[in-house]
Structure 1
Amino acid sequence: MSTFDQGLLLGVLIGEGHFGGDGKQPHVTVRMHTRHARLFDTLLRLCPGSRLYGPYHHGGRHYYQWMVRGEPLRATLIPMLDALDLETLDDHVHERYTEMKTRYGL
């Protein structure tokens, strides 16, 4: 992955990502308006094995949800995120990321 692509992926995750899980397995999700469809195509390319759900139309909102879990999460995203000093970049993201890793033993 190029330096630009890695920066783009990590920037989207820091700005829009949700770090959590379903109680059984961890996942990272990004939910944005359908007008960002091309960006979602890029996320799918940058993180093979990730999934795109939608489009959803609910309560006047129109959005896609991109999700990474399982091996793509462990092999692709976790190493990249671990290489960042998230604590100095964004307290909230660092807290959510650390909580996800602790909860799911990552």
Structure 2
Amino acid sequence: MTPFDQGLLLGILIGEGHFGGDGKQPQITLRMHTRHLRLFETMLRLFPGSKLYGPYEHGGRSYYQWMVRGALLREQVIPLLDALPMLEIDDHVYGRYVEMKTRYNL
């Protein structure tokens, strides 16, 4: 992954990412308008095995939802995020990230 790709990942997760899970497994989710399809295609290219759901129509909005979970999250995404300066950029988002890691023993 190039430094640009790493910066893109960090920026999009800080701005739009959700760090959580379903109670059984952790996941990172991006939910954005359908006009961002090319960005979602980039995320799928960067993280083969991640999933794109949608498009969904709800409340007059049209959006896609990208998710990464399972071994891909644990073995690739978490180590990558741990190596990037999330805390130095946004302590609130970093706190949500750490909370997910704590809740799911990552």
**TM-score normalized with structure 2 length:** 0.95
- Residue matched to 1:38: 38
Q: Is the 8 A contact 1:26 1:100 kept in 2?
A: yes
Runs of 5+ in structure 2 lacking a partner?
Answer: none
Q: Is the 8 A contact 1:50 1:67 kept in 2?
A: yes
Q: Is the 8 A contact 1:55 1:63 kept in 2?
A: yes
Q: Is 1:22 paired with 2:22?
A: yes
Give the whole-Å Cα distance in 2 for the aligned partners of 1:102 and 1:94. 12
Q: Is the 8 A contact 2:10 2:86 kept in 1?
A: no
- Residue matched to 2:52: 52
Per-residue CA deviation, residues 70-99 of structure 1 (Å, 9 max, x unaligned), is: 011112210111112322211211111000
Amino acid at match of 2:61: R
Matches within 5 A, 1:51-70: 51-70=51-70
Runs of 5+ in structure 1 lacking a partner?
Answer: none
- Of all paired residues, the percent bearing the same amino acid is 74
Give the whole-Å Cα distance in 1 for the aligned partners of 2:66 and 2:4. 20
Per-residue CA deviation, residues 26-74 of structure 1 (Å, 9 max, x unaligned), is: 0000000000001000000001110000000000010000000001111
How many residue pairs end up in the alignment? Answer: 106
Q: Is 1:10 paired with 2:3?
A: no
**TM-score normalized with structure 1 length:** 0.95
Give the whole-Å Cα distance in 2 for the aligned partners of 1:29 and 1:43. 11
> How big is the alpha-carbon RMSD for the aligned residues of Structure 1 and Structure 2?
0.9
Q: Is 1:101 paired with 2:105?
A: no
